[in-house]
Structure 1
Amino acid sequence: MFRTTLFATLLLPAVAQAQSASPTGDLLPRLDDDRWSIGVAVAARQSPYAGEGTRVRPLPLVTYEGDRIFWRGVSGGVHLFRGDSVTVDAVVAGRFDGFKIKDLGRRELLANGIDAARLEDRDDGLDVGLAASVRGRAGEFKLSALADVTDASGGYEIAAEYARAFKWGRTTLIPGAGVRWMSADLVRYYYGTLDEEVARGVARYAPGSAVVPQVSIAFSRPLGEKWKLLGGLDYKFLPSRITDSPLSEPDSDGSAGLRIGITRSF
């Protein structure tokens, strides 16, 4: 199923920054009726963290769409209501914004005034919440609210997203845009300094909540009857509360991502 397989490619752990997902990957029309798809993908993302460079990760893609239960890459859930144009879901999604201090640049952190030896790793999280989408001829709009239930950050986010699919020969293109509001706890955990770090002499940085806009374009092209090539590009506009962080790469105001994958439907 096109909607879920493309979502799985866009929702990748390589988006290690302020969001757990590329916003427009799930806002797609239902073009196929296949319940299962399996594939592989590679994702590359420009890391916003000091000295980390580009993250490149291969990963499997497994999706399932049932009448009530669905699984889409690193997210899944239950359809609470499923009408012709409106869907309301209870969702669970991985948040892969964490990092290991050893993967960051010690020299770059020192230039930001931080000794890497005094920092803590940041853990990935698991978010649970609700998502509602409205589909029509003009495209699809989605509103979601997710909260961290693993107490990694203890934060939450609210996102509004829009996308529309266009046919170009056998290729489907899906431009989209979205914006996410992230709570102060969420932003501080991944971009601020923690209390235990401050106790070791690290300067306190508590940025507060943040808004992160994003634009993207995704594509899908059939390769025979059951196979598909799919992927996308996105760019996240990072606000000053994130880019001013001593953990962030200097002179960076955004983060670009590229995904490419292949799936087989069943």
Structure 2
Amino acid sequence: MIIKNNLLIAAALFASSSAMASDFSIGAGALFNESPYKGYNENTIAVPLISYEGDNFYLRQTTGGWVLWKDSKNEISLTASWMPLYFDPDDNDDPQMKRLDERKASAFLGGAYYRHESWGSLKFAVSGDAMDESGGMMGEISYFHPIRLARLTLIPSAGVFYSDESYNDYYYGVSGSESRRSGLDEYTAGDSWTPYVGLVAKYQLTQSLFLNASAMYTVLPDDVKNSPMIDRDDSFALMTGLTWRF
């Protein structure tokens, strides 16, 4: 079961929901994800849904954080994230894409700052590739605002991801040797800003059982969509699932 792209988007989709969770919750769901890579069809896979909110530590799906300072309006933390974005040519249906090199998943270390106000919350985050697969850096600026209606909580969000040249070129660039093998044009990607909008819905079925749904739409930046590996201009992810809160 593979999500070819965009795990960056899927992780943010889940994290906006998990950031509002209480204590510890665990569950399972299904994720539908459109891959912008050529040779991949839409993918629907099973995913675990896990979150924990403590005084000094949190786990928000693929991101863990150690809280350095926190009050009613601010939170500063060191973060460690697993970014399972990768490209496996053996799983691709396109004959040219099959001749490209593998792109591996990696772990990222960094920091995050949340600012909570009555009108919503802001998030600022930055991290770097700790395993040096891409050698790149990523950042995020986002806004989300919980709207609570009896048993239903809605969390609309909007934001932008920053990916530097090293990150983009590793996942979307085509080297000279790859170009000669595959017939795809050689390509070097620069840095980029990727805007997105999302919506999380959480419905309380019982005191402990919750129904979750999350959707996120992303517009791919020029340095991504101009790659010969890419055949679309946008990306969409949808998650549904059940979680049990302890």
Normalised TM-score (structure 1) = 0.84
2:231 pairs with 1:243: no
Q: Secondary structure at the match of 2:8?
A: coil
The root-mean-square deviation of aligned C-alpha atoms, in Å, is: 2.2
2:242 pairs with 1:254: no
Match of 1:263 among 220, 243, 246: 243
State the 1:231 CA deviation.
1.7
CA distance in 1, matches of 2:11, 2:156: 12
Q: Deviations over 1:148-187 (max 9, x none)?
A: 1111111011110001111234211111100011100100
CA distance in 1, matches of 2:182, 2:39: 21
CA distance in 2, matches of 1:42, 1:181: 27
CA distance in 2, matches of 1:211, 1:231: 26
Distance 1:117 1:41, change over 3 A: closer
Distance 1:124 1:18, change over 3 A: same
What's 2:29 paired with? 41
Match of 1:167 among 148, 161, 165: 148
Do the aligned partners of 1:170 and 1:222 also contact (CA within 8 Å) in 2? Answer: yes
Distance 1:225 1:192, change over 3 A: same
Distance 1:195 1:152, change over 3 A: farther
Distance 1:40 1:82, change over 3 A: same
The share of aligned pairs that are identical, in percent, is: 26
What are the residue-to-residue correspondences of 1:1-266 with 2, within 5 Å? 14=3, 16-17=5-6, 19=8, 21-23=10-12, 25-27=14-16, 33=22, 35-107=23-95, 115-194=96-175, 196-198=177-179, 200=181, 203-249=185-231, 252-266=232-246
Q: Deviations over 1:71-101 (max 9, x none)?
A: 2222102001111100001001111220211
Q: Secondary structure at the match of 1:38?
A: strand
Do the aligned partners of 1:15 and 1:257 also contact (CA within 8 Å) in 2? Answer: no
Q: State the one-letter code of the partner of 2:93.
A: G
State the 1:31 CA deviation.
6.2
CA distance in 2, matches of 1:214, 1:225: 32
CA distance in 2, matches of 1:262, 1:18: 20
Task: Give the total of aligned pairs.
Answer: 244
Distance 1:117 1:263, change over 3 A: closer
CA distance in 1, matches of 2:209, 2:173: 43
Q: Deviations over 1:9-64 (max 9, x none)?
A: xxxx847237254546544697664x221111111111001020112221222222
CA distance in 1, matches of 2:222, 2:56: 41
Question: Larger deviation: 212-221 or 161-170?
Answer: 161-170
Do the aligned partners of 2:13 and 2:216 also contact (CA within 8 Å) in 1? Answer: no
Q: State the one-letter code of the partner of 1:127.
A: F
Distance 1:256 1:201, change over 3 A: closer
Q: State the one-letter code of the partner of 1:96.
A: P
Do the aligned partners of 1:173 and 1:219 also contact (CA within 8 Å) in 2? Answer: yes
State the 1:132 CA deviation.
0.2
CA distance in 1, matches of 2:61, 2:45: 14
Do the aligned partners of 2:11 and 2:62 also contact (CA within 8 Å) in 1? Answer: no
Structure 2 unpaired stretches of 5+? none
Q: State the one-letter code of the partner of 1:216.
A: G
Normalised TM-score (structure 2) = 0.91
Q: State the one-letter code of the partner of 2:6.
A: Q
